[in-house]
Amino acid sequence: MNLPTRFREVMQQCDTDILMVAPWHTHLRAYRIAEWEALETKLLALGGEQGIGDFVRYAVGGVVECVVDKQWRIRIPPELRDEANLTKEVALTGMIDWFEICDKERTQAEIGSTRDKFDEHQAGLARMGIF
């Protein structure tokens, strides 16, 4: 998978060429190492909470180091592609501290659904000073 230019620019600010790619329900999440380690620290702090062990087994147990090559590509292992149902076109969505790797059709459907329910987000965005 080729990384788009905007993701390359973020990666160039790091001291690493490795992304941690983890299964995440209907898609994959790709983290720079520092963000992945921060997530692991949060999960460790939650250790005894119900369901956290199962989640750690799923996400942390399924994470794979993906090296970004000189052409700005990563190889996503078949088991992760299968997990996220990545069969044809993929979409990458930047999410501030990570990016999602999703089936393009699913992403377009989710964006359409969010757009249709945009009014539901206005109050929360206004409280944060964004809207």
pTM metric for this prediction = 0.86
Question: Regarding predicted confidence, which is higher, 20 or 16?
Answer: 20
The backbone region for 51, taken as left when phi is positive above 0, alpha when psi lies in -120 to 50, beta otherwise, is: left
pLDDT digits (tens, 9 = 90+) for 34-82: 999 999 999 888 877 887 888 889 999 999 999 999 998 999 999 999 9
Which residues make Cβ contacts (< 8 Å) with residue 29, sequence separation at least 6? Answer: 21, 22, 95, 98, 99, 100, 101
> Looking at the domain 5-103, which fold is it?
Chemotaxis protein chec (3.40.1550)
List beta partners, residue 23. 28
- Domain ranges across the chain: 5-103
Cβ–Cβ < 8 Å for 101, 76: yes
Beta strand pairing call for 98-103 and 90-94: antiparallel
pLDDT exceeds 90 at position 13: no
Q: Which two tokens stand for residue 99?
A: 């990016």
